[in-house]
Amino acid sequence: MQIQCPFCAEIIDSNDAFCRYCSNKLLSPENTPNSVSRRTAPLTTGHKSLLWIAVLIPLWGEIPIRLLAQSDTAYAWLFFLLNVIFFSIDEKWLKKSGYEPPTSWWILLIPVYLWKRGTVVGDGRGYFIVWWVAFVLSCLIF
């Protein structure tokens, strides 16, 4: 019998101990942290909009942060703080929707958080890729 992996949403054999796509250990359905039965609410359009705003922080946040920061060190801290705030909100919204988000510490490494989030939620790597493109563009433009 085939089932959907609760971590990456790929179709796998129900007898497998580990998912062959994401390598997560498969537990019984009632013990799996991301099982569909635990999800209480779908991700809203507002949640997805907030995530896109957060992913594009390297571009839209560049100008006001540069104006507020008196030095490159202050700029780096403001940029980091803005990312942490937005992705902390995302983490809380994921929990509220019944998902088990990546651990809070991954918010400190935004690309890793986005990669793990894509695995947990099953929405692919789009946010991860767009964040990197925005970050590289912000480095080139500013």
pLDDT tens-place string over residues 8-56: 788 888 888 878 887 777 765 444 444 444 455 567 777 888 888 888 8
Q: pLDDT grade, residue 139 (50/70/90)?
A: confident
Buried b (16+ CB within 10 A) or exposed e, 66-77: eeeeeeeeebee
pLDDT band at 142 (very low <50, low <70, confident <90, very high): low
Distances (CA, A) of 104 to 6, 34, 89: 20, 16, 11
In the predicted model, what is the mean pLDDT of the chain? 79
pLDDT computed for residue 75 by the predictor:
74
Task: Identify the domain containing residue 137 by its residue range.
Answer: 40-141
Give strand pairing partners of 4: 11
Residues 76 and 122 in one domain: yes
Maximum C-alpha span of the chain: 61
Do 66 and 34 belong together in one domain?
Answer: no
The gap between the terminal CA atoms of the chain, to the nearest Å, is 54
**Is there a single domain that holds both residue 73 and residue 118?**
yes
The whole-number average pLDDT for the span 94-105 is 85
One domain, residues 117 and 131: yes
Which range is least confidently modeled, 35-49, 73-87, 90-104?
Answer: 35-49
One domain for residues 11 and 52: no
**Given a cut of 50, is residue 132 above it in pLDDT?**
yes
Domain count, the chain: 2
- Residues 65, 123: one domain? yes
- Please state, in angstroms and rounded to a whole number, the distance separating the CA atoms of residues 142 and 125: 26
| 28 & 47 share domain | no
Do 128 and 96 lie in one domain? The reply is yes
Residue 129 has pLDDT above 90, yes or no: yes
As given in the structure block, the two tokens for residue 89 are 């909100």
Report the predicted TM-score, pTM, of the whole model to 2 decimal places: 0.63
Same domain, 72 and 17: no
Residue 133 binned pLDDT confidence (cut-offs 50, 70, 90): very high
For residues 25 and 91, state if they share a domain: no
Say yes or no: 27 and 57 in one domain.
Answer: no
Task: Tell me: pLDDT of 104 over 80.
Answer: yes
Residues 20, 79 within the same domain: no
